[in-house]
Homo-oligomer: A and B are copies of this chain.
Amino acid sequence: MIKEKINQAVDILKEEDIDVWLTFVRESSANNDPILDLILGTNCTWQSAFVISSKGDAIAIVGSLDETNIRETGGYEVMGYVESIKTPLIEQLERLSPKKIAINYSINDYMADGLSHGMFLNLEKILDGTRFVKTLVSAEGIISKLRGRKSPEEIRRIQGAIDLTEEIFEKVSGFMKPGMTESEVATFILNLVDEAGVETSWEREMCPNVFTGPDSAGAHAAPTDRKIEKGHVLNIDFGVRKDGYCSDLQRTWYFLRDGEDEAPNEVMGPFETIRDSIALAAEKIRPGMEGREVDAIARGYITGKGYPEFPHALGHQVGRMVHDGAGLLCPEWDRYGNLPYLKIEENQVYTIEPRISIPGYGVATMEEIIIVTPEGGKFLSHPQKEIFLI
At the interface with chain B, which of A87-95, A113-121, A222-230? A113-121
Q: Provided the pairs A34-B30, A34-B31, A110-B31 are in contact, do residues A116 and B116 lie with their beta carbons within 8 angstroms?
A: yes
Tell me if A216 counts as interface (CB < 8 A to partner B): no
Copies of this chain present in the complex amount to 2
**B-side contacts of A111, CB under 8 Å:** 30-31
Specify which of B26, B30, B116 is in contact with A105 (CB 8 Å cutoff): B116
Specify which of B108, B115, B121, B125 is in contact with A116 (CB 8 Å cutoff): B115
Give the docked Cα–Cα distance between A282 and B117 (Å): 38
Q: A113 contacts B107, CB within 8 Å?
A: no
Q: A116 contacts B118, CB within 8 Å?
A: no
Give chain B nearest CB distance to A119 CB in angstroms: 7
Q: B120 contacts A107, CB within 8 Å?
A: no
Interface footprint category on A: 20 to 34
**B-side contacts of A119, CB under 8 Å:** 113, 117
Tell me if A122 counts as interface (CB < 8 A to partner B): yes
Q: Which residues of A (1-49) have their CB < 8 Å from a CB of B?
A: 26-27, 30-32, 34
Tell me if A321 counts as interface (CB < 8 A to partner B): yes
Tell me if A106 counts as interface (CB < 8 A to partner B): yes
Give the docked Cα–Cα distance between A106 and B119 (Å): 8
Give the docked Cα–Cα distance between A30 and B104 (Å): 14
**B-side contacts of A27, CB under 8 Å:** 110
Q: Which residues of A (62-88) have their CB < 8 Å from a CB of B?
A: none
Give the docked Cα–Cα distance between A66 and B136 (Å): 34
Specify which of B120, B125, B321 is in contact with A117 (CB 8 Å cutoff): B120
Specify which of A108, A113, A115 lies most central, judged by the most chain B CB atoms within 10 Å of its CB.
A113
**B-side contacts of A26, CB under 8 Å:** 110
Give the docked Cα–Cα distance between A112 and B121 (Å): 14
Specify which of B30, B107, B120, B321 is in contact with A30 (CB 8 Å cutoff): B321
Q: Find the B residue at minimum CB distance from A116.
A: B113
Closest 7 CB pairs of A and B: A113-B118, A105-B117, A117-B120, A27-B110, A105-B118, A113-B116, A106-B118
Q: Which residues of A contact B (CB under 8 A)?
A: 26-27, 30-32, 34, 105-108, 110-122, 125, 321
28 pairs, A vs B, C-beta closer than 8 Å: A30-B34, A30-B110, A30-B321, A31-B34, A31-B110, A31-B111, A31-B113, A31-B114, A32-B32, A105-B117, A105-B118, A105-B121, A106-B118, A107-B118, A107-B121, A107-B122, A108-B118, A110-B116, A112-B118, A113-B118, A114-B116, A115-B118, A116-B116, A116-B117, A117-B117, A117-B119, A117-B120, A120-B120
